[in-house]
Structure 1
């Protein structure tokens, strides 16, 4: 707790002032957490002072709250590209990340009980504190404005992917809240970027990438291996359970014994495949392939169908999805066509993302199940034109 209060004081998070008559004041509380390493051993005990943001009023104490974080498919794509080019992956962590954000609104809080203060004083925030509605958004805005001073640009297809061009190449940085991955063939440029970030934020350099978002990344001569370290993120590395997890999640509020039996079966399967991993090959060519499929009226309650697709960059699996369609289809061809449209949208996004990563994809292979979709598409193309036709 003392360490946390020292960090708050160092960042000049608040000033002790008299409360304005027309302003409301919120509370705060302490949150305690045990942070573990990839082998489940205890790294350290954390105490965090959190504002009670649920008492904030929209339009008065905060406005926008949306934050941009990296897409998981973008992270896997970055790993696949780095493996193919045999680039080194580095990881950095920002300490007390939300305390770096600047606050534009006037927000007040009762001082924490462990802080000595005059009885009539309250805390007026100068910077963001954990728990405030706008905390994550303010941090991202601060990071974005900081790296822009180094002439870093943002990818148009993942706003959490930053590109820094140097004389020797392009440095890629992907951000997920306070965790970042950096890779490039320009090692000296990476060190300069690290030094720049360390001058502006309190950074913990974690060296080579090994543990990220509950995932273990193992480097070898033939690429990277992505394995699971946390059950919460199993869906991130296990394409094979995406469909069944999607099906079972629909019954979370009204489950029965049959659903419980299926969940136990999933857990037994995961136990047997616990050490299976995704492989991002260093020898595989960077060609993009997509596979699309869908069932028809798979849900007997509302007669909706489920779209599924997956994408491979070379032999590396980078993106997949299993999701129920939003409307009731009138035929199996319509179901496949809607799945084809969703897959094509993801295909275009990944293709443009790869261009930002320095990989030129002239063509991509899309495999679908029925020829009815192609026939319908050809009929539509003969009578309509679009900007990308």
Structure 2
């Protein structure tokens, strides 16, 4: 048993050293390989190109630049996918799209800075130099000899500098029965399942009923913080209510029954909202909340007495949520709260309350949004 363990440790150590050697060699040689590949493509020397690509792949593995050059080589020879069969075209396409966006949208100085911090991601090939420019020219040249709307055509569009066409074709259902389309759907669905951070500010009116209406109607302000996952919103909610009571309230303070009218109140709880109907830019929802409801009545004067009352609060109601294209939302929420406040020897607090709330908030997960954007997929 011990000898087997030592053998495993030895091989793990050996493989770690090998991986480090590959990374060092690739960092030192990849840029030169890329220049030689660009020159061989320009000269049309397929034999030299094949030799350089073989050596480059041996040193660096199938990085995005190596995959791109190999793909163009195989497409030129009419042999695609050939030895690339089983490789994730989508992963390589996403890596190229990130590179291309830097070329198209960033200044030379910004590209240099970004590359300096992410050299390994870019295969140790500088951005928008000979290799990038020559592979785009090569793809644009090859596309004229390929059947439109084929996978090969879309890949050449990608490498010619039109990645949006490649991803739009997958989004719109082209190549449905292919492994590439299945990989696209899996990636899209995986991203759509990611949770989103959800935060909002709330304002509303609190309407007590039955005996509790002695407290009167009060404005409320609050916040909610939580997560959105699929059709569900999970939030922690805090509301603060304030203002004068509708009429003086009898409360027992220090064994004395007094009349007070200064009111404060609040609610702290958890809220779950379920999307029942999902439109293109709106949701119809049903929500429920459970938490603690607080009423505090304060005497007038320089040293006022205070009396607090607490109750569990179960709230339920429908909601309409309008979702804007910048991931912000506006919701309208009428609700009914079941309360059980008690005021011994004072005014009866027997009753429940209606609550009408308007909330404005924001839901997002940057990884989710950026990932879907790269796939050409819009949620709105």
- Report TM bin, short chain: under 0.3
Report which structure shows greater RCO (CA 8 Å, sep ≥6).
1
Taking structure 1 as the reference length, the TM-score comes to 0.19
More helix by share: 2
More strand by share: 2
